[in-house]
Structure 1
């Protein structure tokens, strides 16, 4: 009796799931076009996965080939998400320069919502007044810090941090030169991270410091996770299924936010308006009034955390910078 009841329920669940998938596929590929407009040209994709298989291992080459057939403005589907692809210098200039305001936003990807609680300047989808106010706050913070004089030298704080780290890197490389050979890449990465930490947090670490290495590793892990893409961003139904990679990504962003929040609170406790030590101090200084007079935006500790996290990631997150420094060093040798 139990088995007879169980089988129909299972069959109903399977049928319901199949119907949902079919409806999602129909909804994705059959959208009415408003009167007077034309459908954007582009290749037809497969249900649920769209044109993912068409992109292959070299998506830039596949897209270049598609543009020859469909033109400089075409539409493909990544999963169920429609994506507009622009090719050609004039087309891209028209979009990014002449119509920059229309193309300045970010897509509302599932994984982006977990970065800085969805309030990230870099990954957040908001491009309105709140975003503009926070961008202005970040710019003012950078400007204040870069112009702040060093209390121990005749240079500005930014130049002092870079010079100190350059001296430390030279000493480290001289130490390593006693060996037959070594790869400078690791030490260049740590040095770049140290400069960014000094700029954002006013603190220089030893190259073997556990906290510094933790920050470097977290940033590398974040870059790999964000760069590899998350299928749930493009196939929404996957958001409701267990995903080990997504859990790790959420944990990573939470740990980094907790670390920055801890540093921001320490800065609040020792803040001196007449002695700006770093970007965090300059942001706190600009947040003293708590509300942006132009956009009525609440400026809290968490706002500072999100902006500092964005600035840190922007300064350190690109491995191409480290590769460039490595090749430059090898060229000089």
Structure 2
């Protein structure tokens, strides 16, 4: 009897779900933006292909810069123009400030604490205020620039050692550990890894890249929530493993610092001059965070900040090595602005307009988060005469915007010069170039990312010459992209040999 009841309930639930999907696919369709005809039940899931940013860019050329897809039970609106992106991210920001929360990130209630996934509540505003005043403020970043310079020097020493041994290095892997330690020293005043080759560094790399991929890759559970308990693709299970490891590490650091502060109350504790001490010292302050909030915030900052920094540097070096004239022009600027023997520091970035243009052009062609973080519409909104329905998922296709010939001349070519004598930046004001987003949900880590990417790239070019490994010539560098969840990475790692020019 119990088995028969289970079968009947399951069949009834499945039938209801099928008819609801069919109903939702036709409801108000005349008012929705155009898009490809959805298949029954699965909708347009197959249209995503292996590389959704490119697939949706091709579809936008057919259906226009605002387009509807049905992804299972979710109505998805894809935006592919700066004008419409401005309407969504700025002019109607209140309606589009919530998030679609992937099933994979709902671990330890992460979506209820983390700044990336929270709706714009008082809790979210408090974390945003902490980021602006305690974590990424100019004062805090200036106070921690010495430790970042030390981590950079360790990277340069590592590359120089490889150079002297004539050894090939994978650029992305070489950069990962120094970026990890740069972030961990800014936040906690300690290294989380000792070398690019040790097991801990590889473990962190697996955690961070795995979390970025599982959080953003198409997941059948997000399209059909009824399948949540089954987790058929295993995203939730893998994310659980990553979160457990990262949470344990960060929680232990917070616990040790809090105990240290308590034990030294009578004699006076030494201020570490880092982000964690700044947050712990803000008892009763306007941006005070609970321990749980700090834990989830740091997890978000590590996962998103490190991955996107490494990806951007690898793409920039790939583009420069593929375009030797642009590479030489960048190196010439460094020689003229800084001098042959001067030590490169963060303050030099302002003297390097061509290097800044190289970074902008890299972010145009290879946005590290090609869809930003998906948003959710909180109410019915009219955009460009079309209905964007409540609870729809919103994807802003930065990849399509960066390759649009209406916006950019020769859009598929790497031309940093387009940004010289041009006021376009990536700080959220110019919607042609918004790799960090725009409006109230703009990435809070932009100030640190700006310093890190520019200084890493400038240092590689200032202290070393480079040649491609494996007998490759510039025109044969593999520039194929791999969609890795929330980020867009090189399908094939950049392998190079460094030649030291600074003794």
Q: TM-score, normalised by structure 2?
A: 0.55
The count of residues paired between Structure 1 and Structure 2 equals 311
Deviation, 1:134, is: 1.3
Corresponding residue for residue 35 of structure 2: 42
State how far apart, in whole Å, the 1-side matches of 2:317 and 2:61 are: 37
Q: Distance in 2 between matches of 1:310 and 1:160?
A: 24
Q: Provide the residue aligned with 2:56 in structure 1.
A: 63
Deviation, 1:311, is 2.1
The corresponding residue for 1:74 is: 67
Give the root-mean-square deviation of aligned CA atoms: 3.2
8 Å contact from structure 1 (residues 116, 257) kept in 2: no
What's 1:28 paired with? 21
- Contact kept in structure 1, 2:68 and 2:75, CA below 8 Å: yes
C-alpha spacing 1:167/1:65, structure 2 compared with 1 (3 Å)? closer
- Corresponding position of 1:233: 222
Q: Is the aligned partner of 1:266 residue 2:253?
A: no
Task: Specify which structure has the bigger relative contact order, considering alpha-carbon pairs within 8 angstroms and separated by 6 or more residues.
Answer: 2
Q: Give the corresponding residue for 2:275.
A: 279
The answer as to 2:87 corresponding to 1:94 is yes
Bigger shift: residues 190-199 or 318-327:
318-327
Structure 1 partner of 2:112: 119
Offset of 1:58 from its aligned partner?
A: 4.3
How far the C-alpha of 1:16 sits from its partner, in A, is 4.7
CA contact (8 A) 2:45 2:71 kept: yes
Query: 3-state SS of the aligned residue for 1:313?
Result: helix
Note if contact 1:120-1:310 (Cα within 8 Å) is conserved in structure 2: no
Q: 1:158-237 to 2 correspondence within 5 Å?
A: 158-185=144-171, 186-204=173-191, 205-207=193-195, 210-237=199-226
How far 1:20 moved relative to its partner?
2.5
Q: Write out per-residue CA displacement over residues 67-123 of structure 1, whole angstroms, 9 at most, x where no aligned residue.
A: 355443332111211111223221112111222232222113322322663234444
Counterparts of 2:64 and 2:316 in 1: how far apart (Å)? Answer: 38
How far 1:302 sits from its partner (Å)? 1.0
Query: Residues 201, 209 of structure 1: CA spacing in aligned structure 2 closer, same or farther, 3 A cutoff?
Result: farther
Deviation at 1:324, TM superposition (A): 3.9
Whose strand fraction is larger, Structure 1's or Structure 2's?
Answer: 2
Within 1, Cα distance between the matches of 2:269 and 2:122? Answer: 27
Q: Distance in 2 between matches of 1:61 and 1:170?
A: 36
Mapping for residues 239-254 of structure 1, pairs under 5 Å: 239-241=228-230, 243=232, 244-254=234-244
Q: Are the aligned partners of 1:184 and 1:326 in contact in 2 as well (CA < 8 Å)? A: no
1:139 to 122, 132, 137: 132
- Distance in 1 (alpha carbons) for counterparts of 2:47 and 2:156: 48
Distance 1:193 1:224, change over 3 A: same
Per the alignment, residue 323 of structure 1 pairs with 314
Q: Judge conservation of contact 2:247–2:295 (CA < 8 Å) in 1.
A: yes
Q: Which has the larger radius of gyration?
A: 1
Q: Please list every run of 5 or more consecutive structure 2 residues that lacks an aligned counterpart in the other structure.
A: 262-267, 319-456, 467-503
Q: CA deviation at 1:326?
A: 4.6
2 CA distance for matches of 1:267 and 1:47? 55
SS for the counterpart of 1:237 is: helix
Q: Is the 8 A contact 1:114 1:250 kept in 2?
A: yes
Offset, 1:19: 3.8
Using the alignment, how far apart are the partners of 1:127 and 1:273 within structure 2? Answer: 36
Give CA-to-partner distance per residue, 1:283-325, whole Å, 9 cap, x none: 1122x12x748xxxx8321111112222222320224234146
Q: Shift of the alpha carbon at 1:242?
A: 5.2
What is the distance in 2 between the residues matched to 1:62 and 1:209? 38
Q: Distance in 2 between matches of 1:194 and 1:64?
A: 36
| 3-state SS of paired residue (1:83) | strand
